[in-house]
């Protein structure tokens, strides 16, 4: 899926863009890695921002989902040891990231199995005595 962003490329006429993998291209292992990317300390006096927690989840997803982009830098998955938030943060304007975040949220919801209707999944009926 291609996401067009508000900012313009160096030519001044073409918008920047990001290509994301389709939900069907993710393995369960990818989702497990996304879940492991965000950890909260247990006990102690550490604090966190709920919005930062959400941002970290989205960036972990984007690190696995971005397959190509128009920026003059390697995509997060090819950016060596740089975490996805660092790789994205170095090249993307805040408005671009906001648009990308909104477009990526339905992908995350689909991977998580959120929602009543799941495309391609038959409705199951429960029978007693099985």
Q: Is the pTM here over 0.85, yes or no? A: no
The DSSP bridge pattern shows strands 66-69 and 15-20 to be antiparallel
Higher pLDDT, 49 or 89: 89
Tens of pLDDT along 79-106?
A: 876 788 999 999 999 999 999 999 999 9
Token pair listed for 33: 């890695």
Residue 129: per-residue pLDDT: 53
Q: What is the mean pLDDT of the chain?
A: 85
Token pair listed for 106: 């339905």
* 99 vs 88: CA distance, rounded Å: 13
Domain boundaries, the chain: 2-112
Token pair listed for 68: 């190509």
Q: Are 5 and 43 in contact (CB under 8 A)?
A: no
């Amino acid at each position: 899926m291609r996401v067009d962003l508000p900012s313009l490329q160096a030519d001044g006429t073409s918008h920047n863009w990001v290509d994301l993998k389709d939900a069907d291209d993710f393995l369960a292992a990818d989702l497990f890695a996304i879940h492991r990317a965000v950890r909260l300390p247990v006990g102690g006096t550490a604090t966190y921002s709920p919005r930062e927690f959400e941002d970290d989840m989205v960036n972990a997803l984007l690190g696995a989902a971005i397959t190509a982009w128009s920026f003059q830098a390697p995509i997060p998955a090819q950016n060596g040891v740089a975490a996805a938030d660092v790789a994205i943060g170095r090249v993307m304007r805040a408005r671009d990231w906001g648009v990308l975040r909104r477009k990526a949220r339905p992908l995350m919801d689909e991977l998580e199995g959120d929602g009543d209707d799941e495309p391609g999944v038959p409705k199951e009926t429960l029978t007693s005595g099985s």
